[in-house]
């Protein structure tokens, strides 16, 4: 059922400790059970399974439950042991797990959507069940009565959802690349604002209520950190993936962001540094360094008897430059560029070795990731892939939470 991997000596990178297999289809969502050697999974093969680690070191299912249709997403609340499972049919089914995680009892069923459920989120403090679907709707239900409290229509299929208990703000990311902030009331909602920084669809959202920042990942391979609490409109870009970002988790106690992509890459970002916004790209009809005309500037080309050049932009200063004046490449980690990017010659000279010091570490999970979960109490990371395998990792840069040992500066 599951294999135990012997960990290698600590080398400051994610270490694979377990693999859970035996699925007939892709695992949509899986979570590590806090304070237990266990994992809960829901899969496109219509199964909900609870895996507990045995004395042999292997994970075996203590609960194996078959649903009437594919399981598309899941939310698990450890305090109440309530499991909410989104279905391909548009319903959300709730169960309560026993204390020993050997039994699962049906609790409620919500007819939430007309299409596949894409995200489900249980909010214990409000006793609300939030969900989004392919029917372009966001709904919230009372988990006590089972009644629908409200619904908001979205312009595009929703692919990301987060909630802030303190302000009752819901963050909704969709396929158009837009993030919408809604203020939820008991039976209504109001639009707070919308913002868009991605050129692709939003694929993952992560909210940090401590620093009050929202992270969004996209199919355009980028991550953006939105400073919601600062009220200054600051948006920091992070460029470290070569494929679609599939998951985001934030460890607030160490100020580290964990991201993963569909090519199997796992990136651990140090967010405890003074990051800088990337500049807006400037418009110009000629190179802002050598003043050579760009190819659409026919008048200057005629007057100067020069051939028009292709326009580029320096990623550090944002100026419009020609290829000759931007022949250098450099990483700019504090601006989020962990890979080498185009910079103008003068900016290249100003970048020091200290400026090039990486602020992220890169790791290969060796499977195409579709979902990721981080458990802060143990410091363990879980990934599920298109290979129908769940992998459990430990030994990363991320330290487990130790109560009272550290506070946020």
d(CA 240, CA 274): 18
Give domain status of residue 315, yes or no: yes
Give domain status of residue 352, yes or no: yes
Lowest average pLDDT, out of 127-136, 163-172, 181-190, 294-303, goes to 294-303
Residues of the chain above pLDDT 70, percent: 90
Tell me the three state secondary structure of residue 334: helix
Give domain status of residue 23, yes or no: no
d(CA 407, CA 409): 6
- Is the predicted pLDDT of residue 12 greater than 90, yes or no? no
d(CA 27, CA 388): 6
pLDDT-derived band at 405 (thresholds 50, 70, 90) equals very low
- The model's pLDDT over 197-206, given as tens digits with 9 standing for 90+, comes to 999 999 999 9
Q: What is the DSSP letter of 88?
A: T
Give domain status of residue 190, yes or no: no
Predicted confidence at residue 335, as pLDDT, reads 93
User: What's the chain's average pLDDT?
Assistant: 90
- The model's pLDDT over 20-61, given as tens digits with 9 standing for 90+, comes to 998 999 999 999 999 889 999 999 999 999 999 998 889 999
Give domain status of residue 310, yes or no: yes
Sheet bearing 59-66, strands edge to edge: 27-33, 38-43, 47-53, 59-66
Give domain status of residue 309, yes or no: yes
Residues of the chain above pLDDT 90, percent: 79
From residue 213, give the alpha-carbon distance in Å to each of 114, 155, 193, 360, 402.
32, 24, 15, 19, 23
- Is the predicted pLDDT of residue 401 greater than 60, yes or no? no
Element (H, E) at 300: helix 298-304
d(CA 141, CA 123): 10
- Is the predicted pLDDT of residue 109 greater than 90, yes or no? yes
Give me the domain span that covers residue 325: 298-356
Give domain status of residue 10, yes or no: no
Mean pLDDT confidence for 214-240: 90
pLDDT-derived band at 305 (thresholds 50, 70, 90) equals low
Predicted confidence at residue 7, as pLDDT, reads 36
Sheet bearing 82-87, strands edge to edge: 71-77, 82-87, 91-97, 104-111
- Is the predicted pLDDT of residue 164 greater than 60, yes or no? yes
Predicted confidence at residue 231, as pLDDT, reads 63
Give domain status of residue 228, yes or no: no
- Is the predicted pLDDT of residue 322 greater than 50, yes or no? yes
pTM: 0.85
Lowest average pLDDT, out of 12-26, 296-310, 331-345, goes to 296-310
Supply the CATH number for residue 334's domain.
3.30.40.10
d(CA 3, CA 1): 7
d(CA 232, CA 245): 26
Give residue for tokens 């990934």. 383
- Is the predicted pLDDT of residue 163 greater than 70, yes or no? yes
- Is the predicted pLDDT of residue 17 greater than 70, yes or no? yes
Predicted confidence at residue 119, as pLDDT, reads 97
Predicted confidence at residue 280, as pLDDT, reads 87
Task: Give the count of beta carbons closer than 10 Å to the beta carbon of residue 234.
Answer: 14
Task: Count how many domains the chain has.
Answer: 1
- The model's pLDDT over 234-282, given as tens digits with 9 standing for 90+, comes to 899 999 999 999 999 999 889 999 999 999 999 999 999 999 988 889 9
pLDDT-derived band at 296 (thresholds 50, 70, 90) equals confident
Task: Give the count of beta carbons closer than 10 Å to the beta carbon of residue 302.
Answer: 10
Lowest average pLDDT, out of 26-30, 187-191, 304-308, 359-363, goes to 304-308
């Amino acid at each position: 059922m599951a294999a135990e991997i012997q960990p290698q000596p600590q080398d400051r990178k994610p270490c694979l400790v377990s693999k859970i297999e035996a699925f007939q289809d892709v695992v949509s969502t899986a979570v590590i059970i806090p304070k237990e050697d266990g994992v809960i999974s829901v899969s496109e093969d219509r199964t909900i399974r609870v895996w507990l680690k045995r004395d042999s070191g292997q994970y075996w299912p203590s609960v194996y439950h078959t649903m009437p249709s594919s399981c598309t997403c899941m939310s698990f609340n450890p305090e109440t042991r309530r499991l909410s499972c989104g279905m391909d049919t548009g319903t959300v089914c709730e169960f309560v797990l026993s204390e020993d995680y050997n039994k699962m009892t049906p609790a409620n069923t919500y007819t939430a959507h007309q299409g596949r459920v894409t995200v489900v989120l249980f909010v214990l403090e409000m006793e609300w069940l939030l969900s989004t679907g392919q029917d372009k709707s966001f709904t919230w239900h009372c988990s006590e009565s089972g009644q629908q409290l409200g619904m908001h229509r979205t312009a595009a299929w929703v692919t990301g959802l987060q909630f802030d208990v303190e302000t009752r703000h819901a963050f909704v990311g969709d396929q158009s690349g837009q993030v919408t902030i809604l203020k939820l009331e008991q039976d209504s909602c109001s639009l707070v604002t919308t913002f868009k920084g991605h050129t692709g669809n939003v694929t993952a959202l992560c909210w940090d209520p401590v620093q009050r920042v929202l992270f969004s990942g996209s199919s355009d391979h980028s991550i953006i950190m939105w400073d919601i609490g600062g009220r200054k409109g600051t948006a920091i870009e992070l460029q470290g993936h070569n494929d679609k970002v599939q998951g985001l988790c934030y460890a607030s106690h160490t100020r580290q962001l964990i991201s993963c992509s569909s090519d199997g890459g796992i990136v651990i970002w140090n967010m405890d540094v003074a990051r800088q916004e990337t500049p807006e790209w400037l418009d110009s009809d000629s190179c802002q360094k050598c003043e050579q005309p760009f190819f659409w500037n026919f008048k200057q080309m005629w007057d100067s008897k020069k051939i028009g050049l292709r326009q580029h932009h320096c990623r550090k200063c944002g100026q419009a430059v020609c290829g000759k004046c931007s022949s250098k490449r450099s990483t700019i980690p504090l601006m989020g560029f962990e890979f080498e990017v185009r910079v103008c010659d003068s900016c290249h000279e100003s970048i020091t070795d200290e400026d090039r010091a990486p602020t992220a570490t890169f790791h290969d999970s060796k499977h195409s990731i579709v979902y990721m979960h981080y458990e802060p109490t143990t410091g363990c990371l879980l990934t599920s892939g298109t290979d129908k395998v769940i992998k459990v990792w430990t030994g990363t840069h991320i330290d487990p939470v130790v109560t009272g040992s550290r506070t946020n500066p």
